[in-house]
Chain A
Amino acid sequence: MQVTTKVSERKASTASGSPVTILSFAGDISSASKDAILNAYHGLNGSTSKILLDFTGVDYINSSGIAIIIQMLLEAQKTGSQSVGIFGLSAHFQKVFTMVGINKYAALHKDEASALAA
């Protein structure tokens, strides 16, 4: 049974002290997650320049879910000022994200520490 996507937002700092907004996802990511994910992204303060997407709590992402992530990354790219990083993916989805070219729009990190250090 598909689990609803939950998105929570928190603040952190990079190793160099720059502010970072972390959007943490939990549950499954599918077409039903569109509003939850994009509303969370659109709700971010416009001045947020570094965003990390935390997939630690995500169990499954289907192709529609991947399309939503890509749509969000394309929007971030269009702003010209936002950089996006991703961490917490399982090895399987790290490979899937690379396969669909997401790594060209967001750096993929193993965990939060390495994402903040980058």
Chain B
Amino acid sequence: MLKRAGLLVLLVFAAGGLRAQSVDATSWHTGALELTSDWVTNSGDNPAWASPTFDDSSWHSVEIDDIGAAQPGYRWFRLRVQLSQNHPHIHLLIVGGDGVYELYINGQKAEGPELRSQFGTRRPVEWVIPVMTDANSLTLALRTHAPLSYTGWHDPLFLDFKLGTPDSIETAREAAESQRLYAELPSLFINLLLILAAFGVLALFRSQSTHREYLWLGLYLLLLGLSNLALFSAAEGLVALAANNFFGDPLIYFFTIMQIEFTFSFAGQRVGRVWRAYEGLLAAMLMINWLADSGVLAITRYVVIEAIVILPAALLLPILLLVWYRRGNREAGWLILPSLLPAAAASIYDIGSGSIFADWGKLDFLASPIPLGPIPLQISDLSDFLFLLAIAVVIFFRFTRVSREQARSAAELDAAREMQRHMVPASLPQVPGYAIEAAYLPAAEVGGDFYQILGQRDGSTLIVVGDVSGKGLKAAMTGTLALGALRTLAAEGLAPAALLVRLNEQIVSAQEDGFITCLCVQICPDGRARAANAGHLIPYRNGEEVAMDSALPLGLADKVDYAEASIALEPGDILTLLSDGVVEAMSASGELFGFERTRAISMQSAAQIAAAGQAFGQKDDITVLTLTLTGAGAVHG
């Protein structure tokens, strides 16, 4: 630094007292002429410095395309050009930041380049400015002022300055523009591919909406693509630099959060507190980004902080995947390589950028594109492309596996529903002396409720209501097994308690997982009834619980005794039998429908009771049977 400062002083002293030299272009008549040398410069701002007569001999000389990074504040540059008397029509080509300078030609402000705020500043941009004078001397004055977003990223003000005939300047402009846009092509292609892939993955999420990994991956790809597009579009002058500062760069933290969520979701793991805190830190980096954008924090420091904050995701997620893989999570292993790529590339780029800003030199190449033939390929583009390929393979296998599982589940569900249809009677039989109503509302998942109304040889009727634990095909199969055994035992004319004892023995011996709650009531046309209960909801008689004993549900223990209760119904009495789907109905706030509400509505019709449970928040199958003794043949006295 000291060496540079000394050199600067020497240059200033050498220039002092001398009128700045002119560029002699008197012999120029055709083509384009480089005008990057012999400029003089001075910091500050004074409108008089645009004048051709201003004495700029005390200003120091610079090459306008080699002045290093733009500095904050105003600065003027001046150059005199001597032309021949009959010079051709002149155009100027200025390649540099757009919005950071304005041009004066012989004291007159030229149409075109303007000073703008950071939201209107782009670079590099090629400006062609016609020179509307036939004078044989040109005084060019550039008034420059770069906003913070520009100086913070150490961008130079100018890359080229040419004078030439309109044709030659247009050719030079097209060459510069093509080179600039050509450099953007690989990024544009790969990041549009990322965004396209994002929508593809989000479409997968629509078809497998329980698999949130598709949601996180879709958002991750979308944010990654948008962030990269903003970065490279800003770097190639297609959009304002602010697009990267205020949009592209902050997205880095959000796509890293999406990457964490995707990784955990893909591996079927819960995001723990430490990772949640880390996600909070990433979100909080928006504040640090804002501090950098507002100039409170130097950009050089910011990029180092950004790299440090992103590094844990880059390093620890692959390690975590490796740990899960070694613990037997095979699919976690598929993600290790893809997960290494994007964040690692971002960190490498930041280290390279840091090296350039800090003049380390040796690591500058990390921020430079890889020359792949005529295509300059950014490291991040390469890593994103490889990531996309790898993740496409991973997602293909995951989606195929899940689709197969879903097809199997759907087939199981169909089979379970088919079995479930046979667990309740297709129509209610006539029961002598009783009016029977039934309501059966299966839950979205196939549950295990069943009921049967079985006529007995002695004229009585056996009514059995039950609930198999669990859901789906397994519950349906256990229910079917129990119903088969029940029908066989009922044919033997067993009393309720004896029937439950035998049914329990058969279910225990079948060694099925799970259990069955079961209420068995035998009713006679004259109103006499007896009931036994294996862990099921106790029936209500005229709105009050029947006084009866309960014992273990079927299938849990091999020797269980079931007590029998006798009930004498009067004409008009209502006996209500339910499954726990009403009692266990749950509101959105987590409140249970409960026993008291159930008791209070137990005199209503079966359909009304079931509807009340459903409206409250059905979680399980709902079965309700009401038996009203009509009076014919009732017991009197």
Contact = CB atoms under 8 A, between A and B. Distances in A.
Interface of A: 63-64, 67, 70-71, 74, 92, 95, 98-101, 104
A104 B557 CA distance: 13
Contacts of B101: none
A39 to B, nearest CB: 19
A95 B552 CA distance: 14
Contacts of B580: 63
Given A99-B535, A100-B535, A64 B552 contact: no
Interface of B: 467, 469-470, 514-515, 517, 533, 535-538, 550-553, 556-557, 560, 580, 592, 594-595
The 5 closest A-B pairs by CB, nearest first: A100-B535, A101-B551, A101-B552, A63-B469, A101-B550
A101 B535 contact: yes
A92 B594 contact: yes
Nearest to A103: B550
Contacts of B469: 63-64, 67
B536 A99 contact: yes
Given A64-B470, A92-B594, A98 B552 contact: no
Contacts of B515: 63, 67
Contacts of A71: 556
A45 B70 CA distance: 77
13 contacts: A63-B467, A63-B469, A63-B515, A64-B470, A70-B552, A92-B594, A99-B533, A100-B517, A100-B535, A100-B552, A101-B551, A101-B553, A104-B552
B553 A100 contact: yes
Which secondary structure dominates chain B's binding surface?
loop
A95 B595 contact: yes
Contacts of B467: 63
Nearest to B535: A100
Nearest to A99: B550
A115 B528 CA distance: 41
Given A63-B469, A104-B551, A70 B556 contact: yes
A100 B560 CA distance: 12
Nearest to B561: A104
Contacts of B550: 98-101
A92 B592 contact: yes
A101 B519 CA distance: 13
Given A101-B535, A101-B551, 14 more contacts: A64-B470, A64-B514, A67-B556, A70-B556, A71-B556, A74-B557, A92-B594, A92-B595, A99-B533, A99-B535, A99-B550, A100-B550, A100-B552, A101-B553
A99 B534 CA distance: 8
A44 B517 CA distance: 30
A99 B517 CA distance: 10
Nearest to B470: A64
Contacts of A100: 517, 535, 550, 552-553
Nearest to A90: B592
Nearest to B549: A101
Contacts of B470: 63-64
A101 to B, nearest CB: 4
A99 B538 contact: yes
A104 to B, nearest CB: 7
Contacts of A64: 469-470, 514
Contacts of B517: 63, 100
Contacts of A99: 533, 535-538, 550
A67 B514 contact: yes
